[in-house]
């Protein structure tokens, strides 16, 4: 299986922009992953998934989101991120 395209979401990310990128990746590769660290980033990621569902719905595509914890290394420090695998139902 090919590696998923990972979109990193920050607390100051614009959900509409993330949703547009997410919808484009799903159209091309049929699934994507959002990665967020911190409450603000997780909030923006969830909003982006909801908006992307709205973008995909007119094409008859219903997106589902599978959340999971993920350990990532940032600047030599181990952090826990939340990842959201998004794919068509």
Query: What digits encode the pLDDT tens for the residues 6-49?
Result: 999 999 999 999 999 999 999 999 999 999 999 999 999 999 99
Give the pLDDT confidence score for residue 2 in this predicted structure: 60
State CA 62 to chain mean position distance: 15
Domains of the chain: 4-86 (3.30.110.20)
Over its C-alpha atoms, the chain yields an Rg (Å, rounded) of 13
Over the stretch 47-56, which tens digit does the pLDDT of each residue have? 999 999 999 9
**How would you list the strands of the sheet with 63-74, edge to edge?**
5-9, 32-36, 77-88, 63-74
**How is residue 2 written in tokens?**
């090919």
């Amino acid at each position: 299986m090919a590696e998923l395209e990972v979109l990193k979401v920050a607390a100051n990310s614009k959900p509409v922009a993330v949703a547009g990128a997410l919808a484009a990746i799903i159209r091309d590769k049929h699934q994507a992953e959002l990665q967020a660290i911190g409450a603000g980033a997780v909030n923006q990621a969830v909003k982006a998934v909801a908006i992307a569902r709205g973008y995909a719905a007119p094409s008859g595509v219903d997106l589902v989101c599978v959340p999971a914890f993920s350990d990532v290394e940032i600047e030599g420090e181990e952090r826990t991120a939340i990842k959201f695998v998004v794919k068509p139902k």
